[in-house]
């Protein structure tokens, strides 16, 4: 009887909960992902490239410089012309270059929002993968712990068998349970390795790097009320902002098309060189004097305005299409939000449920162990309750991981 009491005490120690809370590791992983992820770097380079378009479209057209040589000299009063040079600078209608800059600027801002959306998506992927890793690690820990408990049960069954108080079947039942847990443990370890490689790839680090997991996962909560969350998503979501910048870009494109249909001005000068004549043939002053002619002014008149009206109409239609796209995107985000909020509430309920269920299962297991020690209860009932305790413990950690993943998804929709 003394040996039985000792083994029951060992089981109680194994069933004692262990708690540890830490979010700093996840924050560090998010920082590493933001710095290292190649997909995110590619999005940022796309934005930087778009910014470089702004000075290109805002610059004046290149000046036109021409040089001419007369094969046969052109005779003038002061001498024959041999060379001629000219330079001209086109000037578009006032406001055209600024409108083009506005188009490029809004497109660059759209690229920036694409980068921010990619960063938010990356953070969600890192968080959700981290929570899955937590569940798998906890599954491994709980399975190993339960294998230790079953081995303790096995020793207890052997003690009772030696005392003639139990059947050899009790030991065989424990062996079967341990074999099932060994198979489950192998599957969880393989799954964890695959998830660890996936997590490290998001961070763009060595796939073999160990991941620090808390003993007990903290529980995230949305910072806003349900109605406020959807309002925030409609305003802050980066994909919505992308569409809004595209709308502003097409609005500026209408201005560009309208001003392209206005006249363009050309201002320049020309310069001609004049050779000297034979003094005997030249009577008067200015022999060989170069001719400088200033200024030259020209106007380009767009007579065929149909194409410019079509350009304005094209921009208008693109704006209308983008407005409908924005409305459709808000509807899609509303659906995704409701799904995420449903998952959050479900996870919240499951956490409460399985905390209570686990507590009751452990209490029942304690009672059954005490009764089994006096040979008043069948050992199969002990194993059945131990399986329930294992199930509830796994379900509790799965609920915590699912709840936090749902909150992370909501934050992603909010652009965080």
User: What pLDDT, in 10s, does the model give residues 64-92?
Assistant: 888 877 666 666 665 666 777 888 889 99
What span, in angstroms and rounded, lies between the C-alpha atoms of 227 and 366? Answer: 46
The predicted model gives 274-279 an average pLDDT of 62
Distances 121 to 37, 38, 227, 389, 411 between C-alpha atoms, Å: 12, 14, 23, 36, 10
What span, in angstroms and rounded, lies between the C-alpha atoms of 347 and 407? Answer: 10
Distances 120 to 37, 235, 237 between C-alpha atoms, Å: 12, 15, 10
Question: Percent of the chain at pLDDT above 70?
Answer: 83
Residues 6+ apart with CB under 8 A from 257: 308, 311, 312, 314, 315
What span, in angstroms and rounded, lies between the C-alpha atoms of 272 and 32? Answer: 66
Top mean-pLDDT range of 64-73, 77-86, 316-325, 358-367? 316-325
Is beta strand 64-76 parallel, antiparallel or unpaired with respect to 79-91?
Answer: antiparallel
pLDDT at 163: 64
When comparing pLDDT for 125 and 165, which is higher? 125
What span, in angstroms and rounded, lies between the C-alpha atoms of 303 and 359? Answer: 86
When comparing pLDDT for 7 and 184, which is higher? 184
pLDDT at 394: 92
Residue 221, SS3? coil
Has residue 277 got a pLDDT over 70?
Answer: no
Number of Cβ within a 10 Å radius of residue 32: 16
Q: Which range, of 59-73, 161-175, 308-322, 374-388, averages the lowest pLDDT?
A: 161-175
The predicted model gives 133-151 an average pLDDT of 90
Q: Please give the biggest Cα pair distance in the chain.
A: 148
The predicted model gives 12-39 an average pLDDT of 76
pLDDT at 6: 41
For residue 48, the number of C-alpha atoms closer than 13 Å in the C-beta half-sphere is 6
Q: CB of 68 within 8 A of CB of 84?
A: yes
What span, in angstroms and rounded, lies between the C-alpha atoms of 181 and 145? Answer: 10
pLDDT at 258: 92
Phi, psi of 326 (to 5 degrees): -60, -45
Q: Which range, of 56-65, 115-124, 322-331, averages the lowest pLDDT?
A: 56-65
What span, in angstroms and rounded, lies between the C-alpha atoms of 408 and 415? Answer: 11
Has residue 195 got a pLDDT over 50?
Answer: yes
- pLDDT (tens digit, 9 = 90+) per residue, 212-253? 999 889 999 998 899 899 999 999 999 999 999 999 999 999
pLDDT at 14: 46
What span, in angstroms and rounded, lies between the C-alpha atoms of 84 and 271? Answer: 6
The predicted model gives 301-312 an average pLDDT of 88
**Nearest Cα residue to 127 out of 415, 391, 407:** 407
- pLDDT (tens digit, 9 = 90+) per residue, 109-135? 999 999 999 999 999 999 999 999 999
Element (H, E) at 82: strand 79-91
Has residue 1 got a pLDDT over 60?
Answer: no
**Nearest Cα residue to 348 out of 405, 386, 310:** 405
What span, in angstroms and rounded, lies between the C-alpha atoms of 54 and 247? Answer: 17
Top mean-pLDDT range of 86-100, 155-169, 293-307, 313-327? 313-327
pLDDT at 11: 44
The predicted model gives 99-108 an average pLDDT of 96
- pLDDT (tens digit, 9 = 90+) per residue, 87-100? 888 999 999 999 99
Phi, psi of 398 (to 5 degrees): -65, -40
Q: CB of 333 within 8 A of CB of 237?
A: yes
What span, in angstroms and rounded, lies between the C-alpha atoms of 203 and 122? Answer: 9
pLDDT at 7: 44
Q: What is the mean pLDDT of the chain?
A: 85
When comparing pLDDT for 79 and 362, which is higher? 362
Residues 6+ apart with CB under 8 A from 384: none
Number of Cβ within a 10 Å radius of residue 14: 12
Per-residue pLDDT band at 279 (split at 50, 70, 90): low
When comparing pLDDT for 122 and 177, which is higher? 122
- The rounded radius of gyration (Å) of the Cα atoms in the chain is 40
Per-residue pLDDT band at 22 (split at 50, 70, 90): low
Residue-range domains of the chain with CATH: 2-36+92-262+302-413 (1.20.1600.10)
- Beta bridge partners, 85, equal 67, 271
The predicted model gives 357-366 an average pLDDT of 91
Q: CB of 144 within 8 A of CB of 390?
A: no
Number of Cβ within a 10 Å radius of residue 49: 11
- CA dihedral 118→120→121→125, nearest 10 degrees, is 130
User: Would you call 1 exposed, middle or buried from its count of C-beta atoms within 10 A (0-12, 13-18, 19+)?
Assistant: exposed
């Amino acid at each position: 009887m003394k040996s039985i009491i000792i083994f029951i005490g060992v089981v109680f120690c194994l069933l004692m909960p262990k708690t540890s809370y830490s979010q700093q590791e996840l924050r560090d992983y998010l920082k590493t992902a933001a710095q290292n992820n190649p997909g995110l770097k590619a999005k940022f380079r796309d934005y930087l490239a778009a910014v470089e378009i702004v000075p290109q479209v805002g610059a004046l057209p290149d000046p036109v410089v021409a040089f001419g040589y007369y094969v046969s000299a052109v005779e003038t009063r002061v001498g024959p012309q041999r060379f001629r040079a000219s330079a001209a600078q086109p000037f578009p209608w006032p406001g055209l270059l600024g409108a083009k800059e506005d188009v490029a600027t809004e497109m660059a801002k759209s690229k920036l929002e694409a980068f921010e959306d990619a960063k938010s998506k990356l953070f969600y992927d890192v968080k959700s993968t981290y929570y899955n890793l937590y569940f798998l690690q906890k599954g491994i820990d709980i399975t190993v712990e339960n294998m230790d408990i079953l081995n303790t049960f096995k020793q207890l069954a052997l003690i009772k068998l030696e005392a003639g108080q139990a059947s050899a079947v009790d030991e065989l039942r424990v062996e079967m349970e341990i074999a099932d847990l060994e198979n489950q443990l192998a599957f969880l370890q393989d799954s964890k390795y695959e998830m660890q490689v996936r997590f490290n790839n998001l961070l763009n680090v060595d796939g073999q790097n160990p991941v620090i997991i808390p003993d007990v996962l903290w529980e995230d909560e949305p910072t806003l009320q349900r109605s406020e969350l959807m309002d925030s998503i409609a305003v802050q979501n980066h994909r919505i902002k992308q569409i809004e910048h595209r709308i502003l870009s097409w609005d500026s494109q209408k201005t560009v098309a309208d001003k392209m249909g206005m006249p363009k001005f050309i201002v320049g000068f020309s310069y001609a060189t004049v050779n000297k004549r034979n003094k005997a043939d030249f009577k008067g002053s200015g022999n060989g004097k170069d001719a400088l002619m200033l200024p030259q002014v020209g106007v380009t008149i767009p007579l065929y305005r149909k194409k410019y009206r079509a350009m304005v109409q094209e921009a208008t239609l693109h704006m209308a299409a983008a407005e409908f796209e924005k409305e459709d995107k808000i509807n899609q985000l509303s659906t995704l939000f409701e799904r995420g909020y449903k998952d959050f509430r479900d996870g919240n309920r499951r956490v409460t449920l399985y905390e209570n269920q686990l507590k009751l299962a452990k209490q029942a297991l304690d009672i059954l162990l005490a009764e089994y020690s006096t040979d008043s209860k069948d050992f199969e009932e002990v194993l059945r309750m131990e399986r329930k305790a294992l199930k509830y413990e796994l379900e509790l950690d799965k609920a915590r991981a699912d709840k936090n993943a749902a909150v992370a998804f909501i934050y992603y929709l909010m652009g965080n």
